[in-house]
Amino acid sequence: MTVNLRNLGLFGIVALLIVATGVIQSWNVALTILNYGLISAVMALGVNMQWGYAGLFNVGIMGFAALGGLAVVLVSMPPVGEAWSAGGLRVVLALFWGLIVLAGSILLYQRMAPGRMRTLALIVVLLAGFFSYRALFDPAVAAIEAVNPAGTGYLGGLGLPVLLAWPIGGALAGAAAWVVGKAALGLRSDYLAIATLGIAEIVIAVMKNEDWLSRGVKNVVSIPRPVPYEIDLQNDPDFVARMTSWGYDPVVASSIVVKLAYAGLFAAVLLALLWLLEMALRSPWGRMMRAIRDNETAAEAMGKDVKKRHLQIFVMGSAICGVAGAMLVTMESQLIPSSYQPLRFTFLIWVMVIVGGSGNNWGAILGGFLIWFLWIQVEPMGQQLMALITAGMEDGSALKEHLIESAAHMRLLTMGIVLLLVLRFSPRGLIPEK
Amino acid sequence: MDFLNALVAFLNFVVVPATAYGSQLALGALGVTLIYGILRFSNFAHGDTMAFGTMATILFTWAFQSIGISLGPLPTALLALPFGILVTGALLVGTDRLVYKFYRQQKAVPVIFVIASLGVMFVTNALVRFIIGPDDQRFADGERFIISAREFRNLTGLDEGLALRTTQGLTVVTAVIVVALLFWFLNRTRTGKSMRAFSDNEDLALLSGINPERVVMVTWLIVAALATVAGTLYGLDKSFKPFTYFQLLLPIFAAAIVGGLGSPLGAIAGGFVIAFSEVTITYAFKKVLEYLLPEALEPDGLVQLLSTDYKFAVSFAILIIVLLFKPTGLFKGKSV
């Protein structure tokens, strides 16, 4: 690998931006940007794998990230014993029954000859299945949600170490992607896009409404952490003594140490993934993927199973997004289903991949950091700009107030313009594919 | 009597709202379908185009209201609508010149257009928020009801009332007029026929001397009209909030795909399929059943198939089921 000075320079600029934030604003803000940047970079890697390697257009990133977040709750929260005894097994049974009904109707559809009888039988099985499922499911859910609704009202998780949730989150997202891919791959790219958008909305709807699973809009808070708590550090005489001897305020230092610990964990994941992906790209497998992307018909003629490869890469890319989603919830140590918005979790990631350079992993990472930095900092910059523009205006004038209020929308405008400009004038991104 | 009461409750809570919502979706989906048929991409900016058109109409409405022009019992917004359409048309033709034309000349693959439309979506969204702000805006005036629940009860002597809001009636009437005009245009006029020819077979249409840039421009203008009308009707019926319009993208896409992308008839059918399934699946049928069933059998629960928050999920579940069985939608849409 030759070291490319230009690319190094681009990464240097982003590093400088973050350091400047640390110097001008505070190191806490800078490290927060860094941590979210690391998570965004992982997500961008996943999307880049699907779009850059294989040309698959996935607009359901939000759903896969949310599934990763859900995995954190399911893995690391302590189980709620009372809720389990109230209706835990019944819910599991009901879900199992639902699966049996679905499997039965698929079997029916495959076995019976096409025609009116088949449609009729299918409708009867599905309707009967739905109502019997609800008859099993509803009372169990009511029983679980009745257990201390203010504090729990859900089944809780397995009480396992939180780091275990990262691979499990990936697996969960990957499994969902397999289902989506089976249904929607092989359709035209637009259809895949809209199908993934839809699945993401369904995932979020389930997480917002199924209180027994995720507490819904009541949110799950204080998820266990893989790193020490600030308050424990502040109460640790060794830590306080050391920080004071180095000349730092122990309270500030404790939060910085925690953030640095997260940054270390995230960086480890990012680097490991980057290494794996670069290896994959260089292998015969990577060459095959690009061959399929560039000319599907030719690749098919050469005997490559295009549909299978597409499914494979779709599952892998989505699993990476799931891991990133799990990392995010771990860092925030709370799951807020209503915070999943497509603008932030899907379209922003797309801007990262396009701007950074699709097809190039380094580009995706650069895009992740740079766009996240802009996403956070454009708002204060916009406010300063508006303050400058309106400086000459009379205080209290309607236009001045309107302009200052509007500064918040600079964010979307900037993202849109950046995306359009890059797509137009540098469609291969800042660090193009080799 | 009980049967009539049940019927009225069903009409009032399911049929009337779903018909109005279905008309709004159908108009939105027609716009998406036209762009797909002629420009050959899924326009993610359509929800925000609707928001922009509605915003323009609202601004004209306020201007008319402030100088005292009104339509009496009808909302002033109807008068403002043509002006809103003009502004939106200018915006869409402008974006086409600035953004999409380049990719057309490059003969870029459709998915590049889709990504460009994401960028346009961001910018339009920001423009709307810049100009009118992110909050709820109400701009409906005139008579609120064609017939109110109380009037209906007094008139018929039933227990259940049937309310028909002016905006709901207006939505359906306007939608019918707009759709009739659109089909007349597509089937009878020269430009409309050349648009259909272009949509069916681009190369053949070019050979027969159709000017593609003209077809594209007319398409954008029609889309502007459809989006503004759909958005304004939705805003009159419910309320105007930019974020809600962004979210409308989802059921609109679902409607267009369920009907079959590229097929105008399909878009209308899809709009009603999605609207009726959303409303019936999330409506609590307790009231209707209480009238119909003998007391002993009366349900304890709400008899709601899914909670109301699953509305979007319903439209997409239908979309995916349709894609599984009929990959190009009910009316055999395009899949290039």
**Segment (H or E) for B101:** helix B101-106
Q: How confident is the model over A72-119, as pLDDT tens digits?
A: 999 999 999 889 998 889 999 999 999 999 999 989 988 988 888 888
Q: How confident is the model over B244-276, as pLDDT tens digits?
A: 998 899 899 999 988 888 889 999 999 999 999
Residue of A106, A194, A371 for testing the chain B interface, max B β-carbons within 10 Å: A194
Q: How confident is the model over A281-338, as pLDDT tens digits?
A: 899 999 999 888 888 889 989 888 888 999 999 999 999 999 999 999 999 999 999 9
Q: What is the predicted pLDDT for the residue at A381?
A: 86
Residue B336 has pLDDT above 70, yes or no: no
What is the pLDDT confidence band of residue B206, given thresholds at 50, 70 and 90? confident
Q: What is the predicted pLDDT for the residue at A74?
A: 95
* Average pLDDT of span B114-143: 91
User: Nearest CB to A202: which of B119, B133, B316?
Assistant: B316
Report the gap between the CA of B29 and the closest CA in chain A (Å): 14
What is the pLDDT confidence band of residue A2, given thresholds at 50, 70 and 90? low
- Three-point CA angle A177, A45, A369, nearest 5°: 135
Domains of chain B listed by start with CATH number: 2-325 (1.10.3470)
Q: Which of A219, A186, A179 is nearest to A200 (CA)?
A: A179
Residue B335 has pLDDT above 60, yes or no: no
* Average pLDDT of span A181-203: 83
- Contact assessment for residue B124 and residue B45, using Cβ atoms and an 8 Å cutoff: yes
SS3 A317: helix
Strands B145-147 and B164-165: antiparallel
- Three-point CA angle B185, B93, B228, nearest 5°: 60
Q: What does residue A360 show for φ and ψ, rounded to 5 degrees?
A: -125, 120
Cα–Cα distances in angstroms (integers) from residue A43 to residues A29, A169, A198, A326, B78, in the given order: 21, 13, 19, 11, 46
| Residue B237, token pair as written in the block | 């019926």
Q: How confident is the model over B162-171, as pLDDT tens digits?
A: 889 999 999 9
Considering chain B, what percentage of its residues have pLDDT values greater than 90?
56
- Contact assessment for residue B271 and residue B248, using Cβ atoms and an 8 Å cutoff: no
CB contact under 8 A, A199 and B313: no
CB contact under 8 A, A191 and B307: no
Report the gap between the CA of B156 and the closest CA in chain A (Å): 36
Burial of A139 (0-12, 13-18, 19+ CB in 10 A): middle
Residue B300 has pLDDT above 80, yes or no: no
Residue B327 has pLDDT above 90, yes or no: no
Q: What is the predicted pLDDT for the residue at B261?
A: 86
HSE (side-chain half, CA atoms, 13 Å) at A89:
1
What is the pLDDT confidence band of residue B242, given thresholds at 50, 70 and 90? very high
- Contact assessment for residue B318 and residue B258, using Cβ atoms and an 8 Å cutoff: yes
Q: Who has greater pLDDT, B23 or B316?
A: B23
Residue B92 has pLDDT above 90, yes or no: yes
Residue of A130, A137, A409 for testing the chain B interface, max B β-carbons within 10 Å: A409
CB contact set of A131 (below 8 Å; sequence gap of 6+) = none
Q: What is the predicted pLDDT for the residue at B71?
A: 86
Q: How far apart are CA B255 and CA B330, in angstroms?
A: 10
Q: DSSP secondary-structure letter at B134?
A: S
**Segment (H or E) for B174:** helix B166-188
Q: Which of A263, A322, A344 is nearest to A74 (CA)?
A: A322
Q: Who has greater pLDDT, B237 or B336?
A: B237
Considering chain A, what percentage of its residues have pLDDT values greater than 90?
59
Least confidently predicted of A27-31, B27-31, B158-162:
B158-162
* Average pLDDT of span B281-286: 84
**Segment (H or E) for B187:** helix B166-188
- Contact assessment for residue B170 and residue B75, using Cβ atoms and an 8 Å cutoff: yes
Q: Who has greater pLDDT, B329 or A155?
A: A155
- Contact assessment for residue A138 and residue A306, using Cβ atoms and an 8 Å cutoff: no
Residue A10 has pLDDT above 90, yes or no: yes
Q: Is B149 on the interface with A (CB under 8 A)?
A: no
Q: How far apart are CA B33 and CA B227, in angstroms?
A: 12
Helix ranges (DSSP H) in A185-332: 189-209, 211-214, 230-235, 237-245, 250-282, 284-294, 296-301, 306-332
Q: How confident is the model over B39-50, as pLDDT tens digits?
A: 989 999 999 999
ipTM: 0.90
Residue B326 has pLDDT above 80, yes or no: no
Residue of B nearest to A195 (CA): B320
User: Whole-number mean pLDDT of chain B?
Assistant: 89
